[in-house]
């Protein structure tokens, strides 16, 4: 069983009492606060991951938000890589359970929307996280009835993405070849999923043009 892990850091602003992502991301609004997270995401079993349509991985780390109490450990973290949302549209999903500085349970949920819009938007799509903080520890599927504490957008900076690329590691009981193979398999899955989005529309447009 081969595992793969990497570290990701995202930061931005959320606005308390706001439900709109774009308005919540404006750092100069009343109620806006800086928020970031630092996560190590680990695929425990690459064989299972490669067959899982939800491509689930675990996440550990912390959130940082002064308004919520400073640096706050993640109690439970879930990450899904490229879940099908609609034809030609995929989402990367994040769900982090934590507590504020006085112990109230909270959940950070977020998604990266990966779709082939006009222009070259691969970088924007894969580095922009539409984010909400919800009251309580909210399970998947229960967001619609959960109380929204804050909303906004987090992003990966170029320098942080460059650092992220150096953090990929493989583990497990196998030898070096197995571990390198695990890293390659993760990379192939990542690229193939992107190709399904960004090449799909190009082929459709090409077919129309030829017709």
CA neighbor of 201 nearest in space, from 88, 124, 85, 121: 88
User: How does pLDDT run across 137-162, given as a tens digit for each residue?
Assistant: 999 999 999 999 999 999 999 999 99
Of 14-23, 35-44, 114-123, which range is least confident? 114-123
Is residue 156 helix, strand or coil?
Answer: coil
CA distance 7 to 77: 13
CA neighbor of 64 nearest in space, from 24, 33, 92: 33
Residue 68's φ and ψ, nearest 5 degrees, are: -100, -5
Of 129-143, 162-176, 191-205, which range is least confident? 191-205
Query: What's the pLDDT score for residue 172?
Result: 83
Query: What's the pLDDT score for residue 211?
Result: 27
Confidence category of residue 120, pLDDT binned at 50, 70, 90: low
With pLDDT > 90 as the criterion, what percentage of the chain qualifies?
Answer: 82
CA distance 129 to 195: 20
CA distance 152 to 138: 18
Q: Which helix (H) or strand (E) holds 203?
A: helix 200-210
Q: Is the predicted pLDDT of residue 44 greater than 70, yes or no? A: yes
Query: Would you state the structure tokens that stand for residue 198, as one six-digit string?
Result: 């960004």
């Amino acid at each position: 069983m081969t595992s793969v892990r990497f570290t990701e850091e995202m930061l931005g602003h959320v606005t308390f009492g706001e439900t709109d992502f774009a308005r919540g991301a404006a750092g100069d609004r009343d109620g806006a606060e800086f928020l970031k997270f630092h996560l190590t995401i680990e695929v425990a079993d690459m064989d299972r991951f490669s067959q899982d349509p939800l491509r689930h991985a675990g996440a550990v780390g912390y959130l940082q938000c002064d308004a919520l109490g400073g640096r706050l450990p993640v109690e439970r973290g879930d990450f899904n890589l490229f879940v099908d949302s609609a034809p030609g549209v995929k989402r990367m999903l994040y769900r982090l359970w934590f507590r504020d500085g006085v112990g109230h349970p909270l959940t950070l949920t977020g998604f990266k929307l990966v779709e082939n819009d006009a222009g070259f938007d691969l970088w924007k799509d894969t580095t922009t996280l539409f984010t909400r903080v919800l009251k309580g520890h909210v399970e998947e599927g229960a967001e619609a009835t959960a109380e929204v504490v804050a909303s906004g957008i987090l992003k990966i900076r170029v320098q942080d993405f460059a650092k992220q690329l150096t953090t990929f590691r493989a583990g497990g009981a196998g030898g070096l070849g197995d571990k390198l193979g695990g890293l390659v398999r993760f990379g192939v899955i990542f690229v193939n999923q992107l190709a399904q989005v960004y090449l799909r529309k190009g082929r459709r447009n090409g077919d129309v043009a030829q017709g």
